[in-house]
Chain A
């Protein structure tokens, strides 16, 4: 499992470095021009693939495995197979990113990796997923905690959407515009449900546990879980897409109804923490997880707003969408995973929380928080501004682009913060690993 997390963290650095390069390229296209493999379009696709398949999916898998073990009080089934799966996964992800940079991208957002890599990824996922299910089966009988639902849900969702994407986009492509509608649907499910389930599962475990309280309401948690599964999976199709209008309307309805899980989950956590809000600041894991939840609420609200036809007239196809992804990925998901890692890693290594360097930890928190905030808000401003100006056909397109450049440039600062924060985290992580090794060596010397 450690392999999975270490790989994920390294990948996040790769993704954020690519992101930085991407932004730089955007502001200075001549930078590294003449290198086809480093052109904007390829680096942009590689950046997203590195984030989603390097960091996102493996950390979601790692969380699911860990939560299933922990909450079921069971040992991991087939640890060797999980390790093989993790190695295979990381190899395939590396191959896929390289293939995209070489021009092998498929042209579908979120599923840019060529089919050959996608098969390996899926096989690796199956190895790890089956072990997770076996572990789930070994659990102690009794009550299923919400985090367990979320963990199993995320595994189930990934299996279905990834296999759908492989089959109908890459292996036996559908005809014409159906490819676009399937890709939009898969993309929405990847974010809202798969990554959403994984991050929320972790929040449902850590917030009550570290506050030392019980979860306010299991019924409310169940409401949030099932409504997110049902409504979160509808949508992702832009208004005005060349599809029959019933599909678009269904998507808008589903997206708007995700307000139900957002409210159910948010009020549940609020009630759980009520009266002890200061306690939320006491522990690094809690701090990261709460910040992640805040970002989740903001990003979900933005997604709902952006689906309304009145708003989407302005915001569709502008930086607004990029802002939503930034807030969801780097704000919600990455922060929640970091929170979980600050708790899980020392325990996997037989150490305690004091293994982390508190200064690096604090630095990482603020860099990650402000990085996501600055990037998200500046792109948000750029998107809304661009959209309002574009609504008037009298404004020339190039003029509008130039005017939206300033806020887009500010987002580069956010990208820098995210990279710096991730470097701090990796340094800290390496320190903890070194400490664990030293301890292991010392223990070996003591008993000759």
Chain B
């Protein structure tokens, strides 16, 4: 290996192999992924999935990105045999490629210092999220259905009130939009749980 060109050729081949496998290959397989229809469960109708986020949630995704929320939160439910995510209630099924179709940028995250947020929209409400965003440690664990009425010791001085900024509202809307719950062909509902969706609907 004493020839420069040989060295370059070898490096090029090694890199090209890897690039073809990990960048080009997935692009060829998934680049044309389109919206699809959910599997019919019980008497629920088949729906188009996924749907693009509503406008305010789109703005909230920018707040999520700009503040590096993905440093502590993942958005990826692992299959049942590769972790306790589903049993923990973070999702009804594993995450699939379709779930991320309209996200820009896709922020799957790498560490869970906070809980997984793939389906946060399924388990939270707008007001509750705003309270959490205001101070997750003080009141985050007691989501209130009311307006931002804070406990006495954290209540703002008389004559003042805590009003969520537009960013907080947008972020809450984005978090509410997170739900990967359409059953798809690759991950049909477990047979014993076919009532899960109906239950959720009620």
Beyond A177-B97, A312-B82, whether A230 also contacts B69 by CB under 8 A is: no
Select from chain A the residue with minimum beta-carbon distance to B87: A393
Residues A242 and B100 in contact, CB atoms below 8 Å apart = yes
* CB contact list, A32-78 vs B, under 8 A: 36, 39-42, 44-45
Interface string of A73-106 (1 = CB under 8 A from B): 0000000000000000000000000001001111
Cβ 8 A contact of A156, one of B8, B113, B141:
B8
Cβ 8 A contact of A164, one of B23, B66, B82, B100:
B23
Residues A107 and B15 in contact, CB atoms below 8 Å apart = no
Select from chain A the residue with minimum beta-carbon distance to B101: A176
Select from chain B the residue with minimum beta-carbon distance to A168: B23
* CB contact list, A172-229 vs B, under 8 A: 173-182, 185, 189, 222, 226, 229
Residues A247 and B25 in contact, CB atoms below 8 Å apart = yes
A181–B33 CA distance with the chains assembled, in angstroms: 15
Q: How far is the CB of B95 from chain A (nearest CB, A)?
A: 4
Interface membership of A23, Cβ < 8 A? no
Residues B83 and A313 in contact, CB atoms below 8 Å apart = yes
Residues A243 and B107 in contact, CB atoms below 8 Å apart = no
A234–B26 CA distance with the chains assembled, in angstroms: 13
Beyond A222-B1, A233-B15, whether A238 also contacts B29 by CB under 8 A is: no
**B67 CB contacts on chain A under 8 angstroms:** 36, 39, 41-42, 103
**B102 CB contacts on chain A under 8 angstroms:** 176
A136–B3 CA distance with the chains assembled, in angstroms: 11
Q: How far is the CB of A130 from chain B (nearest CB, A)?
A: 14
Q: How far is the CB of A227 from chain B (nearest CB, A)?
A: 10
**B87 CB contacts on chain A under 8 angstroms:** 393
Select from chain A the residue with minimum beta-carbon distance to B50: A176
**A106 CB contacts on chain B under 8 angstroms:** 65, 105
Residues A392 and B30 in contact, CB atoms below 8 Å apart = no
Interface membership of B96, Cβ < 8 A? yes
**A393 CB contacts on chain B under 8 angstroms:** 84, 87-89
Number of interface residues of A (CB under 8 A): 76
**B15 CB contacts on chain A under 8 angstroms:** 156-157, 160, 229, 233
Interface of chain A, helix or strand or loop or mixed?
helix
Interface membership of A250, Cβ < 8 A? yes
**B18 CB contacts on chain A under 8 angstroms:** 185, 189, 230, 233-234
Select from chain B the residue with minimum beta-carbon distance to A144: B2
**B76 CB contacts on chain A under 8 angstroms:** 238, 240-242
Residues A180 and B23 in contact, CB atoms below 8 Å apart = no
Residues A250 and B21 in contact, CB atoms below 8 Å apart = yes
Interface membership of A365, Cβ < 8 A? no
Number of interface residues of B (CB under 8 A): 67
Select from chain B the residue with minimum beta-carbon distance to A390: B84
What is the total of A-B residue contacts with beta carbons within 8 Å?
199
Residues B103 and A176 in contact, CB atoms below 8 Å apart = yes
Residues B8 and A177 in contact, CB atoms below 8 Å apart = no
* CB contact list, A10-50 vs B, under 8 A: 26, 29, 36, 39-42, 44-45
**B97 CB contacts on chain A under 8 angstroms:** 176-177, 242-244
**A168 CB contacts on chain B under 8 angstroms:** 23
Select from chain B the residue with minimum beta-carbon distance to A387: B83
Interface membership of A420, Cβ < 8 A? no
Interface membership of A413, Cβ < 8 A? no
Cβ 8 A contact of A226, one of B14, B23, B79:
B14
**B110 CB contacts on chain A under 8 angstroms:** 109, 238, 317, 321
**B96 CB contacts on chain A under 8 angstroms:** 242
Max chain A C-beta neighbours (<10 A), residue from B3, B69, B82: B82
**B53 CB contacts on chain A under 8 angstroms:** none
Q: How far is the CB of B43 from chain A (nearest CB, A)?
A: 28
Residues A107 and B70 in contact, CB atoms below 8 Å apart = yes
A39–B133 CA distance with the chains assembled, in angstroms: 13
A392–B26 CA distance with the chains assembled, in angstroms: 33
Residues A242 and B7 in contact, CB atoms below 8 Å apart = no
Beyond A142-B2, A152-B11, whether A105 also contacts B30 by CB under 8 A is: no
Max chain B C-beta neighbours (<10 A), residue from A233, A317, A318: A317
Beyond A182-B23, A247-B26, whether A176 also contacts B106 by CB under 8 A is: yes
Q: How far is the CB of A307 from chain B (nearest CB, A)?
A: 13
Select from chain A the residue with minimum beta-carbon distance to B107: A107
Interface membership of A401, Cβ < 8 A? yes
9 more contacts with CB within 8 A, not counting A175-B30, A239-B82, are A40-B71, A42-B68, A44-B71, A144-B7, A176-B106, A178-B30, A234-B22, A240-B82, A390-B88
**29 CB-based A-B contacts, threshold 8 Å:** A40-B68, A45-B71, A105-B68, A144-B3, A149-B7, A157-B15, A168-B23, A176-B97, A176-B98, A176-B102, A177-B108, A178-B30, A233-B17, A233-B18, A234-B21, A240-B78, A242-B95, A242-B96, A243-B30, A247-B22, A247-B25, A247-B26, A250-B21, A313-B82, A317-B110, A319-B111, A392-B84, A393-B89, A397-B115
Binding site for A on B (CB under 8 A): 1-4, 7-8, 10-12, 14-15, 17-19, 21-23, 25-27, 29-31, 33, 64-72, 74, 76, 78-79, 81-84, 87-89, 94-113, 115, 137, 141
Nearest 6 Cβ contacts at the A-B interface: A41-B68, A240-B78, A103-B66, A233-B18, A393-B87, A240-B82
